[in-house]
Chain A
Amino acid sequence: MVVGVGGVPVGAEQQKGAGAARPSRREVARGLLASAAAVSLAPVVAASRPAPPVEAADGSSFDETYRGRRIQGVLVADAARQAADAAWRITIDGRPLHLMRRADGSWLSMIDHYTSYPTPLAATRAAVDGLGPGQRLRDLAPGPMGGEHPAHRTEGHDGVRA
């Protein structure tokens, strides 16, 4: 799977993205929720049979059952986004998993937060490994997707500028 989304070197991505407008995490959260609803229609239909692993040849999506969990991911094509912001919509058993990007191009999730993985698929599998047996992602994983302290962040930037 191709890691460098858009083929842009990571350093360049950072520079380009540094001052750019970016959807707030709340907006991203809404998008993720909407997509999660859409993506989760499929598993409802397919839940009773094991999903054969499907990985798009260009590495832009995956859909498989890993250790008994249905994991699905799709690269969101959005021309308005910066390459560095290329977003994956990922679910584990239909619930959204937020991935973060490391500066070296690798990926990490809220479940496995102190290690990163070369691809979104690898990070999603690692999140399944990190989820205890019987545990599910929170319906709306609160921190990364909607529970941010906007005041803190704003103050942070102002504080740094001052």
Chain B
Amino acid sequence: MAYVRRDVSTLTANERRRFVNALLALKRRGEYDEFVRMHIDFYTSDGENGLRSAHMTPSFLPWHRRFLLELERALRRIDSSVTVPYWDWTRDRTKTSVPWTKDLLGGNGRRADRQVTTGPFAYASGHWTLKEGVTDGKFLTRDLGRAAAPIQLPTRSDLKWALDDPVYDVWPWNSTVTKGFRNKLEGWGPGSGSTSWRNHNRVHRWVGGAMLGGASVNDPVFWLHHAFVDLQWYRWQRAHRNHRYLPAQPPGAGDAQHRRVVARHEKLPPWDETPDQLEDMSRTYRYG
């Protein structure tokens, strides 16, 4: 029987508490930090050699889908009622709306050092000391909306622009492609500056602090954000039923992308599943 992932704004007080407590339990056991580590380790950029399984690549979506499932399984071992909620950032767009409340993820970082000081993940609460990361900071940081040069979260029409593209992804399957649903959702634009980050990437930047870096998993909003990104993949599939994950076949030996991307029936490191096996999740979960 499939379980339901819900909009975080619809969770009851009890459901919020159980979700938070399951996260804190994972952290206490040291399991949570393994997720942070894994996300750091699997970031291979497309200007470097090597297989890209998680970012700047067609398997951005199935990799993060599988990553979320792993976290969700761990949470459900602790409390079987828990599922990963999603944050619809096209609706909950302010620095004080959900999930930035004291009973969920806590609020913005304070001005002096961006330290999150409210909610269950505040350093002073004693339950959320950062262990894995690219800085020596022990506390969770956020800079919601980027105070120094404010930006807005992506809009419904930004998402529609991605969802309307009927093709999953196009050659050369990396961050430079300007067509295809995957990169329009992942959000690598040309150049730098405000117009170059879209959808998924823009949300990481809007949250700022830990979410801006390779150790973004340190902020539990990572999972709520990626659940919403995952929901977009499901919506895209429903809107374009004749289209599937691409590439269907591995790029050949003469292709610059040879052995650098995961094709539909290849295993998606570090797991044994393929993108093909991760396209249909209807027997495991659905979105409410």
A interface vs B, CB < 8 Å? 10-11, 14-15, 17-18, 20, 22, 84-85, 100-106, 108, 110-118, 122, 129-139, 141-144, 147-149, 152-153, 155-157, 159-162
B46 within 8 A of partner (CB): yes
**Distance between Cα atoms of A111 and B137 in the complex (Å):** 12
B259 within 8 A of partner (CB): yes
Q: Which 5 A-B pairs have the closest CB atoms?
A: A101-B47, A156-B269, A143-B40, A159-B267, A100-B45
Q: Which residues of B contact A10 (CB under 8 A)?
A: 47
> Chain B, 268-284, contact with A by CB distance < 8 Å: what is the 0/1 string?
11100000000000000
A102 lies within 8 A of B47 (CB) = yes
Residues of B within 8 A of A156 (CB): 51, 53, 267, 269-270
Interface centre among A108, A110, A112, A116 (most CB of B within 10 A): A116
Interface centre among A122, A142, A143, A153 (most CB of B within 10 A): A143
Tell me the interface secondary structure of chain B in the complex: loop
Q: How far is the CB of B237 from chain A (nearest CB, A)?
A: 24
**Contacts known (A130-B212, A132-B137, A138-B133); A114 close to B204, Cβ less than 8 A:** yes
* Structural contact, B51 and A160, CB atoms closer than 8 A: yes
CB nearest neighbor in A for B40: A143
B35 touches A (CB below 8 Å):
no
**Contacts A84-B49, A102-B45, A159-B266 hold; do A144 and B196 have CB atoms under 8 A apart?**
no
B13 within 8 A of A: no
Instruction: Decide: B176 and A114 in contact? CB cutoff 8 A.
Output: no
Bound together, the chains give a CA A115 to CA B113 distance in angstroms of 22
Q: How far is the CB of A57 from chain B (nearest CB, A)?
A: 24
Closest to A98 in B: B134
Chain B nearest CB, measured from A78 CB (Å): 16
Residues of B within 8 A of A104 (CB): 47, 175-176, 190
**Chain B interface residue number, banded:** 35 or more
Q: Is the CB of A106 within 8 A of B197?
A: no
With beta carbons under 8 angstroms apart, the residue of B109, B141, B259 that contacts A160 is: B259
- Offer 12 A-B interface pairs, CB within 8 angstroms, sorted by A: A20-B49, A84-B48, A103-B172, A114-B197, A117-B192, A132-B113, A135-B141, A152-B42, A152-B269, A153-B269, A156-B51, A156-B270
- Whether A157 touches B212, Cβ cut-off 8 Å, given contacts A102-B175, A115-B201, A142-B132, is no
Q: How far is the CA of A148 from the CA of B43 in the complex (A)?
A: 10
Least Cβ distance of B161 to chain A in Å? 18
Given contacts A11-B256, A130-B208, 20 further A-B contacts (CB under 8 A): A18-B49, A85-B48, A85-B49, A100-B45, A101-B47, A106-B192, A111-B213, A113-B204, A116-B175, A129-B148, A130-B213, A132-B209, A133-B114, A137-B134, A144-B40, A149-B41, A152-B269, A152-B270, A160-B259, A160-B263
Cβ-based interface call for B260 (8 A): yes
Is B136 a contact partner of A110 (Cβ separation < 8 A)?
A: no
Which residues of B have CB within 8 Å of A134? 113
CB-CB contacts below 8 Å: B172-213 with A: 172, 174-176, 187-188, 190-192, 196-197, 200-201, 204-205, 208-209, 212-213
Within 8 A of A (CB), among B190-241: 190-192, 196-197, 200-201, 204-205, 208-209, 212-216
**For residue B51, which residues in chain A have a CB less than 8 angstroms away from its CB?**
153, 156-157, 160
Are B49 and A131 within 8 A (Cβ)?
no
Report whether B141 and A132 are in contact in the complex, using a CB–CB cutoff of 8 Å: yes
Q: Quote the shortest CB–CB distance from B138 to chain A (angstroms).
A: 10
Residues of B within 8 A of A14 (CB): 47, 256
Contacts A100-B48, A129-B148; A147 near B41 (Cβ below 8 A): yes
How distant is the Cα of A20 from the Cα of B134 in the complex, in angstroms?
A: 29
